[in-house]
Amino acid sequence: MFNSTSNNPSVLKIAVVATFMAALAVSPLAVAQEHEHPSSPSSGAASGKEKLDAAASKEVTGEVVDLMCYVDHKAMGDKHSACGTKCIKGGGPVGIVADGKAYLVVGEHKPINDQLADSCGKTITLKGKVAERDGLAMLENAEIVKK
């Protein structure tokens, strides 16, 4: 019988599949790079976004909280510090409450829990970029301000 299809893949088919797989593997890296560094350093003048980023950076002084318990039943203070410390060390979201506003606190694209867990229930000052969306406030790239 005449069989026009071969069970052996051609070099062209292998090259096309390999190129497609390489493109799929590399594309998330390009998106991540753009997310972290959206503007070119050679652009000279500061863009509007860079000006907004600089303006959004501020210091926040308030109480470190375990956000799970804070949002659920407003757990704060000395009574909750041991429980909150355990939750933060366990990977629960950490926040800071200042002037009646709660902020989710993150480091530079990673959690900052290890650095803040032992401060749960205490008042400290953090510095970072404030971002807000749909009622959620976040202090990102946060650093502890030493006084």
Q: What is the pLDDT of residues 100-136, one digit of tens each?
A: 999 999 998 889 999 999 999 999 999 999 999 999 9
| Mean pLDDT lowest among 13-22, 60-69, 77-86, 122-131 | 13-22
Which is more confidently placed, 145 or 35?
Answer: 145
What pLDDT, on the 0 to 100 scale, is given for residue 107? 93
The answer to whether position 25 is within a domain reads no
The answer to whether position 35 is within a domain reads no
Length of the chain: 147
The answer to whether position 85 is within a domain reads yes
45 pLDDT tier (thresholds 50, 70, 90):
very low
| Mean pLDDT lowest among 3-12, 56-65, 78-87 | 3-12
The answer to whether position 58 is within a domain reads yes
* Alpha-carbon distances of 117 from 45, 63, 73, 87, 103, rounded to whole Å: 40, 12, 19, 8, 15
Which is more confidently placed, 32 or 22?
Answer: 22
The answer to whether position 45 is within a domain reads no
- Average pLDDT for residues 27-49, to the nearest whole number? 48
What pLDDT, on the 0 to 100 scale, is given for residue 11? 77
Average pLDDT along the chain? 80
The answer to whether position 119 is within a domain reads yes
Is the pLDDT score of 72 beyond 60? yes
- Count how many domains the chain has: 1
Is the pLDDT score of 22 beyond 70? no
What distance in Å separates the CA atoms of residue 37 and residue 29, rounded to the nearest whole number? 12
Residue whose C-alpha is closest to residue 71's, from 95, 87, 88, 91: 95
The answer to whether position 56 is within a domain reads yes
Domain that holds residue 61: 52-144
